[in-house]
Structure 1
Amino acid sequence: MRNKSATRATLVRLLEHARYEVLPTASAEDTLLEHVPRDREITVTASPSKGLEATFELAERLAGHGYPVVPHLAARMVRDRAELAEIAERLTGKGITRIFIPGGDAEAVGDYPDALALLEDLQHVGSPFDHVGITGYPESHPTIPDDLTVQSMWDKRRHATHIVSNLTFDPDVIRAWVHRMRGRGITMPLLLGIPGPVDRTKLLAMATRIGVGESTRFLNKHKGTFARLAAPGGFTGQRFLEQCAPTLAEPGALVEGLHVFTFNQIPATEAWRTEQLDRLRG
């Protein structure tokens, strides 16, 4: 009984602290305003096909509506320290104090071949952001050995405030990764990355809208992910979360919330989250 109660409490806590990742499409702003309360944290991806401007414009508009917003600043899409300083001044000038820094899928356009290089340069422009997120890889990265991904998090720990895990569908992978990461002394809080509920047809339409080249890269890099998400009935994450709950409830796990990859299925994602909370609280 105690285990069930602890699991329920953990799931409620994570769902209450869930943030939504959205793609910077033309309809994203209106859809969020219609379906998502203003206290929900929103992250905006950086698309090589659209450029950083689309990310920043949507993030600024959402911040203006009162959302806590987290633009993605893909390192390889930034030229140099001068541009980084301009970006920081622009975003903080709009009240944006949170940032997420992945390496990004694009070829490097300037001085930053990876996230660490940009993170280090943020110090030279005054460490302007209060919250800085970095990527964690529970699954093997397609181009980086596992030992190097853990080492990378260790190297970044002085420049970041939290880790956002990439997608995985295996609770055993999450368990092993969290234990290994914490055993290595990486103690930053973690946001667990999960997919929201995805409709097969809408996912295919979204893949088309984000650009043919980028869609191809995504599908080649995440064939297994796409197959699971595009299966009839979609994937809600309920069972996955329940299976992960014992690990996530461990005091040393330091899992603060969820990072939900919505694929812009925004109404369905918010409906799923609130339904799960109602069920767990009832």
Structure 2
Amino acid sequence: MFDSRVEIIPANGIAAMVSRHLPTSTTLTITCLPAHGIERTMAAALELADLGYAVVPHLAARAVADKGQLRNLLADCATAGITEVFTISGDAPRAAGPYASSTPLMADIAELSAGSMKMGVAGYPEGHPATHGVQLLDELLAKQELASRVVTQMCFSAEAINNYAGLLRREGVRLPVWAGVAGAVPRTKLLALAGKIGVGTSLRFLSTKGSFARHMLGGERYQPDALIDGLAPTHIAGLHLYSFNSLAALPAALGPATAHAG
């Protein structure tokens, strides 16, 4: 059984929704989307931390205005007992300040927290449309001294995730790999929201798989069980569950692992 975390979007009323459906033993990661901004991410993180959840806010480099704002964000995390963040470049077309990518952001987080803040980083089993695969690998190798884990982009192929984790090991990336998996999400919501959070590539991959695609997306709700069963415990350290805020079905989809704080 894999440890798991649940990714949520900081929509209005998300704290009440989470508390209705998930026990406080659940570890939550909170997205930072351009439409919401880093302020909403942190507001949700602080509210959920106050309710007793372990939370991992996403810090999008391009959303951080300057080092002073970053210092304040980390101070808020420290006050709330938040010990880990997830660092990404972000999807904003322009950087709000000096951080165009997650690499300098991570360096400043390490400096300002005196090395105490854990940092997750993104991995791409199916590549990234804007960055060459060799560059992605080089960036991971450069980041791993500051990072605590790799969380993969949402993927619908256990084989692709396992192969990616194996590749990272062969190339010298020692970080634990957490598989990014869609939860038991309504099909229409998955298709409508996927592009907004950057998983269009993975859905296009799925659409090429013929009968497999019809099986996985043909019903009213996507079910991740078969994909999870195909993940290799020797390669994968845990599950990062993309919930799209469809929280009620998570325990049915994953069983006790959903409530395990990873």
TM-score of the pair, normalised by structure 2 = 0.87
What secondary structure sits across from 1:167 in the alignment?
A: coil
TM-score of the pair, normalised by structure 1 = 0.81
Gaps of 5+ in 1: 1-11, 208-213, 278-282
The aligned counterpart of 1:58 is: 44
Larger radius of gyration: 1
Q: Tell me: CA distance 1:160–1:218, structure 2 relative to 1, closer, same or farther (3 Å).
A: closer
The aligned counterpart of 1:224 is: 204
What secondary structure sits across from 1:118 in the alignment?
A: helix
Q: Are 1:249 and 2:230 counterparts? A: no
Q: Are 1:264 and 2:245 counterparts? A: yes
Q: Tell me: CA distance 1:144–1:47, structure 2 relative to 1, closer, same or farther (3 Å).
A: same
The number of aligned residues is 250
The aligned counterpart of 1:69 is: 55
The aligned counterpart of 1:198 is: 185
C-alpha deviation, 1:202, in angstroms: 4.3
Distance 2:13 2:113 in 1: 35
Letter in 1 for 2:243: T
C-alpha deviation, 1:129, in angstroms: 4.3
Letter in 1 for 2:230: Q
Letter in 2 for 1:200: R
The aligned counterpart of 1:9 is: none
One of 110, 118, 124 as aligned partner of 2:97: 110
The aligned counterpart of 2:119 is: 132
The aligned counterpart of 1:182 is: 169
Distance 1:271 1:62 in 2: 23
C-alpha deviation, 1:30, in angstroms: 1.1
Deviates more, 1:59-68 or 1:90-99: 90-99
Q: Are 1:34 and 2:20 counterparts? A: yes
* Partner deviation per Cα, 1:68-91 (whole Å, 9 max, x = no partner): 000000011012212111111112
* Partner deviation per Cα, 1:127-161 (whole Å, 9 max, x = no partner): 46442100011111111111111111101011111
CA contact (8 A) 2:156 2:202 kept: no
Q: Tell me: CA distance 1:224–1:163, structure 2 relative to 1, closer, same or farther (3 Å).
A: same
The aligned counterpart of 1:171 is: 158
Q: Tell me: CA distance 1:36–1:168, structure 2 relative to 1, closer, same or farther (3 Å).
A: same
Q: Are 1:142 and 2:123 counterparts? A: no
Letter in 1 for 2:255: T
Letter in 1 for 2:204: G
User: Among the aligned pairs, what percent are the same residue?
Assistant: 28
Q: Which has the higher helix share?
A: 1
Gaps of 5+ in 2: 208-212
Q: Are 1:153 and 2:140 counterparts? A: yes
